[in-house]
Amino acid sequence: MTNTLESFVIQSPEYGKSYKIDLVEGLEELHIKHIEDVWQPILNNQYSLALLHFYTQPSGLQTHEVLLDTLGKFCVADNHWSWRRKCNIALGSNRKTYGLLNNSEVEAVMMLKFGELSRCSPSGMPIVYVDYISVAPWNRTPIQDPRRFRSLGTVMLGAAVEMSRTLGMDGRCGLHSLPSSEWLYQLHMMKEFGTDSSHQNLKYFEFDQEAAMNFLNK
């Protein structure tokens, strides 16, 4: 069952008007079905285009690193994520799922994990850990231009930081980034800790208290 936490008025470049977008805690069956039935066919098609582009490259360029870069450029590095499975994992665990809803349309989803410790703080203070963030395919420029909505990943990141602040963690928030999203966390001045072999060699980023408050005050 969903619980509305906050509402935002966000301008749509696609339609040229504003919409009320609700941030909710918890994803219901209709939201998961929307991701599976509406998001996924678009992402699968884009993924096929990415593979076609990759396999038309000279054989010397058909490396794992180039494949990851291609999936990032086509904005489908998360194509294999199953939000149904993630929501099932969250049940009864230290994880919670969140969505940005435009009436019945799911515009973005996020999973947060609680109980992780800071890498910025020598004392290992608790943080909110962003397990996953994903936006609908029509909000990704390589798939649709103009997008329906922009900056929804930033909105979700802000919600995670605000959650940390509300829980008394002073905005401390960390995550492992897909390569195609690293620029976003660098832009928001999250501290970068380099690649993490325990998380598929993804780079780890974290907001300390000062950077988190600067981000929220923008």
Edge-to-edge strand order for the sheet containing 3-12?
3-12, 17-25, 95-102, 105-117, 126-135, 173-177, 202-207, 191-196
Residue 94: predicted pLDDT: 96
Q: What is the DSSP string of 79-133?
A: TT--HHHHHHHHTTTTEEEEEEEETTEEEEEEEEEEEEE-SSSTT--EEEEEEEE
Residue 122 phi, psi dihedral angles, 5° rounding: -60, -30
pLDDT, tens digit, 9 for 90 and up, residues 180-192 = 999 999 999 999 9
Q: How far apart are the C-alpha atoms of 186 and 191, rounded to whole Å? A: 8
Residue 1 pLDDT > 80, yes or no?
no
107 in Cβ contact with 148 (< 8 Å): yes
Per-residue confidence band for 44, with pLDDT thresholds at 50, 70 and 90: very high
Percent of the chain at pLDDT above 70? 100
Strands annotated E in 1-104: 3-12, 17-25, 95-102
Residue 103 phi, psi dihedral angles, 5° rounding: 55, -115
Range 135-140 average pLDDT = 98
pLDDT, tens digit, 9 for 90 and up, residues 85-99 = 999 999 989 999 999
pLDDT, tens digit, 9 for 90 and up, residues 160-182 = 999 999 999 999 999 999 999 99
Residue 42 pLDDT > 80, yes or no?
yes
Residue 122: predicted pLDDT: 73
Range 120-144 average pLDDT = 93
What domains does the chain contain, in order, with CATH numbers? Answer: 3-216 (3.40.630.30)
Provide the whole-model pTM.
0.94
